[in-house]
Amino acid sequence: LMITVNYIDHTGVHYKVEASEGETLMSTATNNLVPGIDGDCGGSCACGTCHIIVDKIWANRINDRNSEEISLLQMTPDYEENSRLACQIIVTKDLNGIVVSIPEHQM
């Protein structure tokens, strides 16, 4: 079962990609060459270079942030209430169609 993920960059360009259940939003982006998500630490919640902003409609369908993720996010220049690290969100069938924005600056 392929799951659609919608990434929107800071200029409004839309990237619609297919993800496999169990992947992270970070690996989905990097595997599909979505610009703006670097994932420098390889997905270990250690760098903040996969900062995304989850559309409010989807915010209650994803897992909660842990304290390590919150600490990294609060250092990012474009921090918002729905900021997340893409490496910390696992793709599930419940996220089919999710919309996330990629801020202009990563850490």
pLDDT digits (tens, 9 = 90+) for 35-89: 999 999 999 999 999 999 999 999 999 999 999 999 999 999 899 999 999 999 9
Q: State how beta strands 2-8 and 51-54 pair.
A: unpaired
What integer is the mean pLDDT of 78-103? Answer: 96
pTM for this model (two decimals): 0.95
Residue 60 to residue 30: CA distance in whole angstroms: 24
Q: Which of 90, 91, 73 is nearest to 82 (CA)?
A: 73
pLDDT value at 107 more than 90:
no
Q: State how beta strands 2-8 and 98-101 pair.
A: parallel
Report the pLDDT value the prediction gives residue 68, as an integer from 0 to 100. Answer: 95
